[in-house]
Amino acid sequence: MIQILAGSPPGAGAYDADILILSLDRVGETETAILSALGQLGLRQHVIVFDQGSSAVTLARLSALIGAHAHAVLASAGRNLGVAEGRNRAASLGHGRMMIALDNDAVFADAATAARAVVLLDGEPQLAALGFRIMNADGSGDDDASWGYPEALRACAGERFACATFVGAGHAIRRATWNEIGGYDAELFFTWEEYDFALRAIDRGWQLRYAGDIAIHHKLASEGRVHWSGRRWFLFVRNRLYIARKWRTPSGPFFVRSAAYGLKGVRLGLARQSGRAIFAALRMPLAMPPKRMSAEGRRYLVATDTAWRGGLWRRLRDEVMTGLPSSRRRHPRNRPVT
């Protein structure tokens, strides 16, 4: 059950975008993120803050901030539903043509960021979503831990290119696509929910774009963060394997990928999490039987992702041998064809 704590959901009239922020304490960072969203210019927006179990002190401060603004709402689930379902619930409170998500430890790079995202989506109706450039807290460089694209494209972080996923810290989604696809899979809770959404959109003929000229600054707050030594590796492995089960492919790649994650877990001292994750992925119920990606979707994935990563064995080898995302370095290589 969703409870409205301050402000109000948007009225019946049309507007450009909902700006979605999930909150769970981190009150100082969350207030800064909200102010950044409220300060966006050049579009008609409604700021939707969806809380997932913050303390009474945090809720009081957020309520005071939201209550002072006409185009904002603070809602609460009273508990942590996860990123995937949290964003589903937040999205359900609005009806803007676009949805722009911002992590609660991030800010938009400037006051026109959201407007530029809306203009880009409006101008290219085949696009389902945009991935923003995720920069470090002061905007002096990229947040390397938040790079979700082929390593060969890191040199193009300031450019635009077609892609097969996007990073949740800062992104925009066309609501028409969201409604068609059905939002995020709530079973994922945290990690890979964007990739799962992207695959379903690509299968239906939609495209995605990374926009390096549309950026956020990401502080990477330590409070409330799910660390790799905690539950994050478990969720990372479980969710990726669960997504693999959704698509009708030979069983080999699933078990080969499981073995690769198992080996990487041993190498990183996370073997127990890997084992638990593999078994958990096999037990997760599928909402529908596995399906085969459309021929158009397969071609799109090859052109935008596989061609940059190499074949399955190379991708698995690279995954096993690299460190965790927070420890990866930048490797400029070839430039993409946009």
Q: What is the pLDDT of residue 230?
A: 64
> Would you say 231 and 239 are in contact if contact means Cβ atoms under 8 Å apart?
no
- Both tokens assigned to 33: 């993120």
Q: Provide the pLDDT confidence category of residue 58 given band limits of 50, 70 and 90.
A: very high
CA angle 123, 124, 128 (to 5 degrees): 130
Domains and their CATH numbers in the chain: 3-218 (3.90.550.10), 228-327 (no CATH)
DSSP 194: H
Closest residue by Cα to residue 102 from 75, 134, 144, 74: 134
Residue range 205-225: mean pLDDT, rounded: 85
Kindly report the number of other CB atoms within 10 A of residue 125's CB atom. 9
Q: How far is CA 252 from CA 34, 70, 289, in A?
A: 46, 54, 18
> Which residues on neighbouring strands pair with residue 247, listed in sequence order?
291
Q: In this prediction, what percent of the chain has a pLDDT beyond 90?
A: 81
Q: How far apart are CA 271 and CA 276, in angstroms?
A: 9
Mean pLDDT in residue range 198-204 = 98
**Which phi and psi (to 5°) does residue 329 adopt?**
-100, 170
* 35 in Cβ contact with 5 (< 8 Å): no
The pLDDT score that the predictor gives to residue 336 is: 34
On the question of pLDDT at 171 being above 90, the answer is yes
Q: Where are the beta strands (DSSP E) in the chain?
A: 3-7, 17-23, 45-51, 72-76, 98-102, 106-108, 127-135, 160-163, 170-174, 207-218
80 pLDDT more than 80: yes
Return the minimum-mean-pLDDT range out of 128-132, 177-181, 229-233: 229-233
Per-residue pLDDT tens digits for 266-322: 988 999 999 999 999 999 999 999 999 999 999 999 999 999 988 777 777 777 777
Largest CA distance in the chain: 56
Q: Which two tokens stand for residue 333?
A: 């290589």
Helix (H, G, I), strand (E, B) or coil at 180: helix
**pLDDT for the residue 332:** 31
Cβ proximity of 170 and 103 under 8 Å: yes
Q: What angle do CA 201, 2, 233 make, to 5 degrees?
A: 55
CA-to-CA separations, 284 to 80, 186, 200, in angstroms, rounded? 20, 12, 18
Cα–Cα distance, 107 to 118 (Å, whole number): 17
